[in-house]
Structure formats: C-alpha cells, structure tokens
Chain A
Amino acid sequence: MQAEIAHPLDVYLRETGMHHIWCTGCGNGILLNSFVTAMRELELNLDKIVVVSGIGCIGRIAGYINTDSFHTTHGRPIPFATGVKLANPELKVVVISGDGDLFAIGGNHFIHAARRNVDIKVICANNFNYGMTGGQQGPTTPLNISTATTPYGNIEHPFNLVHLAAGSGAVYVARWTTLHVRRLTESIKKALQKEGFSFIEVISQCPEIYGKSTKIGDAIDFMNWFKKASEIQNFSDPAKAEITPDRIPIGEFVDIEKPTYEKLLTEKIVQVQNKTQGGA
C-alpha cells in the first residue's frame, strides 16, 4: 500500500473538491495544472483571487481551485466577474469557462466586457463541442463534423475566437493547445499581471466525446494532432487565425495597452466628486 504522497501543487487545490470528475486525458485537467502552476510561479496571494466559471465540464474547475470561487448559470460568468471586479478592484478575477458557455449563450457578454476593457482574465477551454451534455455542436465546431446534434455533418461555420476577441477590443489575446502547456502557463502569468481584458483560448482535447465525433482516436492521437497541426506565429493577423484540420495557428496575437474600465471609472468619480465639492 502506497503511503499518501502529496503533490507540490495540492496547496492550490481545494481538498473538498478534488479529485476532479474529468475523463481520462481531458484537456481540462491540463488547464487546471497549468493554471495553478502559473499561480505558484507568480507567488500570488490566494486570498485575493476569484475564479468564476460557467456551465460545462470546465465549469467544475472553480470548485477545484483553492481560492474564492463561483459557479454561475450558463453563459454568465463574465458579467458576474464584472460585478465582482468593480465591487472590489483589488481582487484578481479570472473567468475559466468553455467555448459554448462563453461564445454561444455568453457571446454577448464576452464582446461587451472586451469592449469595455474590464480588468478580468478570460480563459476559454475550447474543445469544439458541448462535452458535458454528450457532444452536441457548439459555436466552434468545425464544418462537416458529425456531432450529437449534427448527425449528418455540421453546416455552420465556426468562430475564429482569436479574431473575435481582438475585434472586440481585448488587450491581450493568445491561443495555445494543452500540449503547449508551458507556453500556456507563461501566457496565463502574463495575463494575470496585465491590466485590462485578457483572453486566452486553450485548444483542449475531449477524447471521450469529441474524439469519438471526429474519430480521431485516443487521447494521445489528439495530442499528436495538436503537435502536427500547430503553428506558432506570434502576432500574426488574428483574422487569418482560423483553425482547420491541417493548421492550428497558436501564439500570442494581441498585446496592447488601453485604459481599463476601472481606471476610467475611478478618474470619472474623482472628477465628479471634485466638481460637486464646490456646490456646482
């Protein structure tokens, strides 16, 4: 019988939550690993981080991380996170959710939070389908793929999330696969330290469900696809970053500076209070 070994990252995980419910080889597990590694490497104060997740397999992640956390209704982690951040700007607020939650039902909230440049970090685990409910199509499912609700093949064009984020005004946009876990950790660290709306798309494998839809094989075949098709091109044109079976453009796409909503709000409040001071 093996004595209970602790993992060095266990202190960042919630004891009552673990072990996670994700399948063998699920990319969400790698994202969890990467995220807590980033927290450790930055030596962040765990009391001042809030993790907000939506509905989906990835939604369970909030219950696994040892910080204040909240699991919202479907599609609504971003406006919830906005409320948290504006109520207490000292907190670092991170939204970790899925492609359907953030871009189908939650699409409107994404583009507006990016437009406002609210200082929240949004990490999207993009596994190209709705895994939790059994593999239905989502807004990032590629054309022609047969899913539970596209049994004859998907006829919808998928989003290019990098382009969408860049177009909406995000100040930091990156895409990595779970295979590129170290670069993903570096991007997460960068986003955590950058002010403004930061978006990281994580191409994540769903071997049990999406893997079956695409007949790609097993978890390792999935990773080998990432290895084969990924092309690192930092700061290439987000408009040309669509994902095809042969090409997954990854890297950092946007890294700019722009006044955040919080900064403009604080300035405005000072301005208003000074103006009304004199009884104007």
Chain B
Amino acid sequence: MSEKNRAVFTGKHFLSGDIACAEGALAAGCRFFAGYPITPATEIAERMARRLPQVGATYIQMEDEIASIAAVIGASYAGLKAMTATSGPGFSLMQENIGLAVMTEAPCVIVDVMRGGPSTGQPTMAGQQDVMQAKWGSHGDYEIVALTPSSVQEAFDLTIEAFNYAETYRVPVMVMMDAIVGHMWEKVIIPPADNIRIVNRNKPSVTPKEYMPFKPEKNLVPPMAVFGEGYRFHATGLTHEEDGRPRTESIKAQQRLVQRLCDKIRKNSDKIVQVKEIMMEDAEVAVVAYGIESRAALSAVRKARSNGIKAGLVRLVTLWPFPEKPIAEVAEKVKMIIVPEMNYGQLVREVERAAKATPVTFLPKLGEEPHRPEEIFEAIKGGKP
C-alpha cells in the first residue's frame, strides 16, 4: 500500500488538534464521515474529505447537521465505525438524533469543537460552554461518554478511545474539544497500527432465529448484528422490547429499557472514568480542570508549589460519566477545590455535588482566552474567589 493511502498516519508530525482528531479516527478504523462545515470544526471534515477516499472509504457532506448524525447512525447500523464533527450550533441540532443513537444503541463518535455561545456566539473564539449539553442535551433519561483532550496528542489518542468506548458500550461518545486545542499545532507521535488498541463491537453468537437485538449480555450491552447479515432485526426509537418490537404502552418496558441504557454506563463507570492526578499525593488545594484550562492550571500549580503551597491538579479526561468517586476522594483529602472553566458555571456544579462539604471556588472565563496561570495562582494563594 502506498504511503499516502495508509489509514494510520504513523510517524512524528506537527498537527493541529482538529487534524490529529481526524487522524485518530482513521487509526481507530473509522470508515464513514458525514458532516457539515462549521467553524472551528471544519478542518476535521476537510481532513476526512481528503483522507477517507485514500483509504477507499466514504466522506459525505450532508445538507445539515441533523442529516449528518442520521447518516452516521445509518452507517453504524450497516457495520461501519462512523463519526461526525461539529461545534455548538450543530451540536444543538444533533441532539434529537443523539437520543436516537442512545435508544438504538448505535456506536458512533461526535466531536464538538467548542466555541463561544450561546446561539451563533463567537464562531472563531474558544469556549467550554457545551460541557453540560454533552450529557443533558437530548430529552429523556440517558447516559453517554464524553472525553476531553487537553493537547493535540490527546486529540489523537482520545479519539481512538472514543471509538473504543462507543464499540464496547454501544453508545454515542462525544469528544469535547475546546477550539484552542482544536486549532493549536503541536507535535504528535502516531504509533504503528499494530501498537494501537482497537475494540470492535461484539457480534451475536446465536442464529438469526434466536437473536434478540436488545437483549443484553456482557456489561449490560447487547451484541450487535448489522444490516445485511441475515439477522433481519428491527430497531426503533420508540421504547421497545428485547426483540425490537415497539412497546409504547408498557410501564415495565419503559422501566427495563431506560434503566438498562443508563446502567450500562453508570454501573461500568469505574471502567470508563479517566482522571490524571498531578502532585496530588500531599495536596491541600486541588485544582480540577479540563481541556486547555488544565494546562494553565498545571502552570499555576507548579508556581504554587515553588511558593510552598501544597497544590495539585486533577485533570479530567472523561467529563461524562462524571468522575464522582475520584473527586469525592480528592475532596476528603484537600481543604479547597478550585475549578477554572471557560464558561459561566457548568462542570463546577458536578464538582460541588461530589465534593460535598469541601469548599469549591469557581473561576469563570468567558470569551476566547483561558485563564492565565497567574489568575489561577492567585485563587490558590487567596483561598477565595
């Protein structure tokens, strides 16, 4: 195979977060992308438009974001690993079909390169204003997985993990990348294909006659048959039985289904949640941050340490399911938690909930720039907002 036609872009590169994300998808085995141009995620679509034909796969630019996510779910059901990428306004449009992906347990990856909102907001300026929406954006009770990279390398690595989570738990997985990480350029090391861990969905082990498309097995997840293999199954967005039949009037069917869709993430959260703790062993002040904010936070923590303050950083890698347990454990050890976010108060609410009695200081930031390390350092020093 020619160098240019390879799916895994092995080597040392200097890439932007968007491009690294696209390359991560290809390395994970993504062979379908349906999207719509939107700043600051357009580069992901452009990279996929260029690379997917090279590996014999489909890029299609749909007429809107709703069509994009619908096509992604269709491609997933036809057996491919599929992805779309958007920003706030497109993410809002996709919410209904994200619910469909949850309800029909369609593995897929949705990248939201976050910009200033609400509404059209500031298309070219970064934000972290969609992080609550990632979990609560669609109607109904449901759980998803959301990952957030804080470097271009992570944009590559976490996109692969996003696909792995999607395939393992048959759930839509969000990659919430603030526009700074999306547009900044850094060194990325892409390993050879053999060194990359890929997970594929479980296939049914029974005959088509015995197959129940929504009967759970390992991890509360049903094995997934795909179209065209003779299983002739039905999937619907209506509340349904294990055999796929719609059951719109059964209280038990609703209880069973909705609980399982939530529990498959909640009960497996120990296997899903990822946080990175830096200098936390003896910390008295913890800074809980994610995305680009975590880099400023790390600088602030280092400065605090060199000034004799026992500070540490808890960097969230998974935003959802929210790392309740790690935060609760941190809260027991420290005297104060500081949460800097590029929004006016979102994930801090989850931190407060998990931290219980431990005081939490929130540092908001609206409009493109993350906190400067000095600002976070002042908060660490001052012990109050």
> Residues of A at under 8 Å CB distance from B?
14, 16-17, 46-48, 50, 52, 60, 62-63, 66-73, 76, 78-88, 90-91, 108-109, 112, 265, 268-269, 272-273, 276-280
B282 contacts the other chain (CB 8 A):
no
Q: Which residues of B lie under 8 Å from residue A60 when comparing CB positions?
A: 246
List, sorted by A's number, 27 A–B pairs whose CB atoms are closer than 8 Å. A17-B234, A47-B228, A62-B234, A68-B228, A68-B233, A71-B246, A72-B237, A73-B99, A76-B100, A79-B63, A79-B68, A80-B70, A82-B34, A83-B34, A83-B73, A83-B77, A84-B74, A84-B227, A87-B32, A91-B228, A109-B70, A269-B57, A273-B53, A273-B54, A278-B2, A279-B3, A280-B4
Q: Which residues of B lie under 8 Å from residue A73 when comparing CB positions?
A: 70, 96-97, 99-100, 237
For the complex of A and B, the 8 pairs showing the least CB-CB separation, nearest first, are A83-B74, A83-B71, A87-B78, A71-B236, A79-B67, A276-B4, A79-B70, A87-B75
From B32, B68, B245, A63 is in contact (CB under 8 Å) with B245
- Quote the shortest CB–CB distance from B73 to chain A (angstroms): 6
- Quote the shortest CB–CB distance from A197 to chain B (angstroms): 14
From B58, B80, B99, B232, A46 is in contact (CB under 8 Å) with B232
Q: Which residues of A lie under 8 Å from residue B76 when comparing CB positions?
A: 83, 87
B235 contacts the other chain (CB 8 A):
yes
- Quote the shortest CB–CB distance from B35 to chain A (angstroms): 12
Given the known interface contacts A82-B60, A87-B79, the answer about A71 and B234 at a Cβ–Cβ threshold of 8 Å is yes
Given the known interface contacts A63-B246, A265-B58, the answer about A70 and B236 at a Cβ–Cβ threshold of 8 Å is yes
From B57, B70, B79, B233, A88 is in contact (CB under 8 Å) with B79
- Quote the shortest CB–CB distance from A92 to chain B (angstroms): 10
Contact between chains at B72 and A83 (CB < 8 Å): yes
Given the known interface contacts A82-B60, A84-B75, A112-B67, the answer about A50 and B4 at a Cβ–Cβ threshold of 8 Å is no
Q: Which residues of B lie under 8 Å from residue A70 when comparing CB positions?
A: 74, 77, 104, 234-236
A74 to B73, CA, bound (A): 14
Q: Which residues of A lie under 8 Å from residue B228 when comparing CB positions?
A: 47-48, 50, 68, 88, 90-91
Q: Which residues of A lie under 8 Å from residue B96 when comparing CB positions?
A: 73
- Quote the shortest CB–CB distance from B208 to chain A (angstroms): 9
CB-CB nearest in chain A for B56: A269
A83 to B227, CA, bound (A): 12
B231 contacts the other chain (CB 8 A):
yes
Q: Which residues of A lie under 8 Å from residue B246 when comparing CB positions?
A: 60, 63, 71
A48 to B238, CA, bound (A): 24
Contact between chains at A112 and B63 (CB < 8 Å): yes
CB-CB nearest in chain A for B64: A108
B273 contacts the other chain (CB 8 A):
no
A86 to B5, CA, bound (A): 20
- Quote the shortest CB–CB distance from A147 to chain B (angstroms): 24
Q: Which residues of B lie under 8 Å from residue A63 when comparing CB positions?
A: 234, 236, 244-246
Could you list 16 further interchain pairs (A-B, Cβ under 8 angstroms) beyond the known A83-B76, A85-B74, A108-B63? A47-B230, A66-B232, A68-B227, A71-B246, A73-B96, A79-B34, A80-B70, A80-B71, A80-B74, A82-B60, A84-B75, A86-B32, A86-B60, A87-B78, A88-B78, A88-B80
By secondary structure, the A interface counts as: helix
A276 to B54, CA, bound (A): 8
> Residues of B at under 8 Å CB distance from A?
2-5, 31-32, 34, 53-54, 56-58, 60, 62-64, 66-68, 70-80, 82, 96-97, 99-100, 104, 227-238, 243-246
Contact between chains at A83 and B70 (CB < 8 Å): yes
- Quote the shortest CB–CB distance from B63 to chain A (angstroms): 4
Q: Which residues of A lie under 8 Å from residue B97 when comparing CB positions?
A: 73, 76
Q: Which residues of B lie under 8 Å from residue A52 when comparing CB positions?
A: 74
Q: Which residues of B lie under 8 Å from residue A88 when comparing CB positions?
A: 78-80, 227-228
- Quote the shortest CB–CB distance from A277 to chain B (angstroms): 5
From B82, B100, B233, B237, A83 is in contact (CB under 8 Å) with B82
Given the known interface contacts A86-B60, A87-B32, the answer about A273 and B73 at a Cβ–Cβ threshold of 8 Å is no
Q: Which residues of B lie under 8 Å from residue A85 when comparing CB positions?
A: 74, 78
Contact between chains at B62 and A112 (CB < 8 Å): yes
Given the known interface contacts A47-B230, A68-B227, the answer about A87 and B82 at a Cβ–Cβ threshold of 8 Å is yes
Contact between chains at A71 and B67 (CB < 8 Å): no
A276 to B233, CA, bound (A): 40
A80 to B31, CA, bound (A): 16
CB-CB nearest in chain A for B231: A68
Contact between chains at A83 and B63 (CB < 8 Å): no
| Most A-side CB within 10 Å, residue of B2, B70, B237 | B70
Contact between chains at B234 and A14 (CB < 8 Å): yes
CB-CB nearest in chain A for B227: A68
- Quote the shortest CB–CB distance from A173 to chain B (angstroms): 20
A88 to B96, CA, bound (A): 25
A52 to B96, CA, bound (A): 18
Given the known interface contacts A86-B32, A87-B58, A87-B79, the answer about A79 and B53 at a Cβ–Cβ threshold of 8 Å is no
| Most B-side CB within 10 Å, residue of A85, A112, A272 | A272
Contact between chains at A69 and B234 (CB < 8 Å): yes
CB-CB nearest in chain A for B57: A269
CB-CB nearest in chain A for B59: A265
- Quote the shortest CB–CB distance from B3 to chain A (angstroms): 6
Given the known interface contacts A84-B227, A109-B63, the answer about A91 and B78 at a Cβ–Cβ threshold of 8 Å is yes
Q: Which residues of B lie under 8 Å from residue A62 when comparing CB positions?
A: 234, 236
Q: Which residues of B lie under 8 Å from residue A280 when comparing CB positions?
A: 4
Q: Which residues of A lie under 8 Å from residue B233 when comparing CB positions?
A: 68-69
From A17, A72, A269, A278, B70 is in contact (CB under 8 Å) with A72
- Quote the shortest CB–CB distance from A58 to chain B (angstroms): 14
